[in-house]
Amino acid sequence: MTDTAIIEIALKTMLVALKLSAPILATSLAIGFTISLFQSMTQIQEFTLSFVPKLLGVGIALLFCGNWMLHTLMEFTAELFAILPELLV
């Protein structure tokens, strides 16, 4: 196994992790920003106000993107297992 192969696998791993986390993080960011804007306009200083909407939003994002996320992860795992014999030589 060469250092180039290790760097390539690490890069692909980071890209897959970024793709898988993007829908959840973007949803949480959008909801958090909206709640924060609402709180600043109404001057409500409750820290726990954004927890339930974020929880519901992340759950909905997982429902919509979960199939794609699982498919992406399975493709990446199958690709890793396919190149495994080349890496061990």
CA distance 72 to 5: 21
Residues with pLDDT less than 70, the chain: none
> At residue 47, what are phi and psi to the nearest 5 degrees?
-75, -25
pLDDT of residue 50: 84
Contacts of 61 (CB under 8 A, 6+ apart): 23, 24, 27
pLDDT of residue 34: 94
pTM of the predicted protein model: 0.81
Q: In the chain, how many domains are there?
A: 1
pLDDT of residue 49: 85
pLDDT digit string (tens) for 56-78?
999 999 999 999 999 999 999 99
Which residues span the domain enclosing 60? 3-88
